[in-house]
Amino acid sequence: MPEVVPGPAELRGRLLAIRRSGRSIGLVPTMGALHAGHRALLEAARRQNDTVVASIFVNPLQFNRKEDLETYPRTMSEDLKVCDDCGVDLVFAPTEADLYPVEQLTFVESAALSQHLCGQFRPGHFRGVATVVLKLFNIVQPDRAYFGQKDAQQLAIIRRMVQDLNVPVTIVPIPTVREPDGLAISSRNQLLTLDQRAVAPVLSRALRKAIDVIQNGEQRVAVIREQALAVITPCAQTRVEYFEVVDPELLTPVEQVDGPVLVAAAMWLGPVRLIDNISWPD
């Protein structure tokens, strides 16, 4: 089993000798409830670094609904087995008091990149994400950090934060891991009923439809959206929160596809919110 380190000071001490010896450090930040998507991150980190650190921390700053924070799955014993299988060396598992010992008065925010897609429906979420990720970068000081492309807005914000604030870490994006029926793997999937789980892949099918329409030469986003949403409309259980075609770096909506785009969507199935995206060209 990997060594579990609870406190920031203790982790810094454990990593100091590793860093001084010239060995590389890879960080995989997680909130636990590890699944196949996390395995892909951990395995990539293992291949590319001498030492792998996985953090497991359910970050209260990024939840804008108290009930979501309280019900978020916490599966530490199972998570440690996944980390062991993937060759993780150290698991950083701080408490809330470890990372927020006093009231947090300083935050990291990218207002421009947070105003569209998920950001318009989850106020404060990405401020919480960026703040805790920068904390982790400062504590671990990794050479590389690994993030999944399924959370495309999060990835874009972290990349820009690293660039804008001169953080000396390489961000490594890892492709979305999917179930055989196309559903993007997520911790939230376990909350779906059997009926909802059968419907859920319609989101990835709608995204794929949008890409097919683009590849067939359609450039008008209004037409692309209309044809993609027609895939979801027959499913009465669903509620589309957004379905957008945006600039892949700035995340601003476009009206015409005349270069690379990100097609991103969020959909509700009962109380479960699913997100997914596909880049074009991929």
CA–CA separation, 110 and 127 (whole Å): 7
Which residue of the set 35, 38, 116, 125 is catalytic? 38
Q: Known catalytic residue: 116? A: no
DSSP label of 183: P
User: Which structure tokens are listed for 110?
Assistant: 């990218």
CA 214 to chain centre: 26
Burial class (CB in 10 A: 0-12, 13-18, 19+), 221: buried
Of 59, 66, 213, 215, the residue nearest 135 (C-alpha): 59
CA–CA separation, 242 and 207 (whole Å): 12
Q: Looking at the DSSP assignment, which residues form a beta bridge with residue 253? A: 246
CA–CA separation, 25 and 141 (whole Å): 8
Instruction: Enumerate residues 6+ apart whose C-beta is below 8 A from 233.
Output: none
φ, ψ for residue 114 (rounded to 5)? Answer: -100, -5
Sign (positive or negative) of CA dihedral 76, 190, 100, 20:
positive
CA–CA separation, 126 and 153 (whole Å): 9
CA–CA separation, 234 and 229 (whole Å): 9
What are the residue numbers of the active site?
Answer: 38
